[in-house]
Amino acid sequence: DIVMTQSPLSLPVTPGEPASISCRSSQSVLNSNGYNYVDWYLQKPGQSPQLLIYLGSNRASGVPDRFSGSGSGTDFTLRISRVEAGDVGVYYCMQTLQTPLTFGGGTKVEIK
Amino acid sequence: QVQLQESSPGLVQPSETLSLTCGVSGYSISSGYYWGWIRQSPGKRLEWIGAMYHTENVYYNPSLSSRVTLSVDTSKNQFSLKLKSVTAADTAVYWCVRIGDDVSGYSIDYWGQGTLVTVSS
């Protein structure tokens, strides 16, 4: 199985400031088609996870452009350019290159 | 708007079979996409259980494959999960999900609200 490792575990943030979360895969998730099969999800308190980024860098429908994904191969980053209070929750990366699909352990973002 | 809704068995006895059904509205299962299940046990990371495309392509997490069966009922526009011989380790929130195709990188674009299943006598 591909192991996904996220850091940090917890991220206190100040509204209006940028934030970034790292995700590393135990093997490359770059497909021969040139796409990185990594998604990012946000689980807000009391809600189900929601898709933010797919294929490494593509924003899902309705996701603000404050969110961006980057990286390739085994190292990926989710960036929030200006954190808002509504961005709090647990962020997960997930690889979809091969089954079983696997998730990172999560990064809890909270307001300072 | 696509919506998924899990049934809620709540409490399951150890060694019994956990059965969950996911009702889908706003989209016909037979039209495409993968349909699957994800769970999260207390203190653990999200775990992919399995997914299926119609009835011909079914994929299971090897860690659960000996105990899991996924099925679909297109007449009711719903799909189901059965997990046999459950133990306390199967206590978790279970979500049914829709998984996109290769164009979207098999991302999960719709999630149910999740249902807590507790295994206890």
Residue of A55, A99, A105 with shortest CB distance to B59: A99
- Those residues with Cβ within 8 angstroms of residue A94's Cβ, 6 or more apart along the chain or in another chain: A4, A38, A39, A40, A41, A101, A102, A103, A104, B46, B108
CA–CA separation, A19 and B64 (whole Å): 36
CA–CA separation, A98 and A94 (whole Å): 11
CA–CA separation, A108 and A89 (whole Å): 6
Q: Per residue in B14-53, pLDDT tens?
A: 999 999 999 999 999 998 899 999 999 999 999 999 999 8
Residue A81's pLDDT band (cuts 50, 70, 90): very high
Whether residues B107 and A99 touch (CB distance < 8 A) is answered with: no
Is some CB atom of chain A closer than 8 A to the CB atom of B45? yes
Q: What are phi and psi of B104, to 5 degrees?
A: -100, 10
A-chain residues near B106 (CB < 8 A)? 37, 96, 101
Cis check for the bond before A64: say yes or no (omega within 30 of 0). Answer: no
A100 three-class SS? coil
Q: Are the CB atoms for A112 and A16 separated by under 8 Å?
A: no
pLDDT of residue B32: 86
How many C-beta atoms surround the C-beta of residue B47 within 10 A? Answer: 19
How many C-beta atoms surround the C-beta of residue B62 within 10 A? Answer: 10
pLDDT of residue B20: 97
Is some CB atom of chain B closer than 8 A to the CB atom of A89? no
Q: A92-103 as b/e, with b when 16 or more CB fall inside 10 Å?
A: bbbbbbebbbbb
Strand partners, A24: A5, A75
pLDDT of residue B56: 75
The per-residue pLDDT of chain A, averaged, comes to 97
Residues A27-53, mean pLDDT to the nearest whole number: 97
pLDDT of residue B10: 86
Does residue A106 surpass a pLDDT of 80? yes
Q: Are the CB atoms for A101 and B42 separated by under 8 Å?
A: no
Does residue A46 surpass a pLDDT of 70? yes
Is some CB atom of chain B closer than 8 A to the CB atom of A63? no
Residue A8's pLDDT band (cuts 50, 70, 90): very high
pLDDT of residue B55: 67
Q: Are the CB atoms for A10 and A71 separated by under 8 Å?
A: no
Mutate to test the interface with B, among A30, A42, A93, A101 (most CBs of B within 10 A): A101
Residue of B62, B63, B105 with shortest CB distance to A96: B105
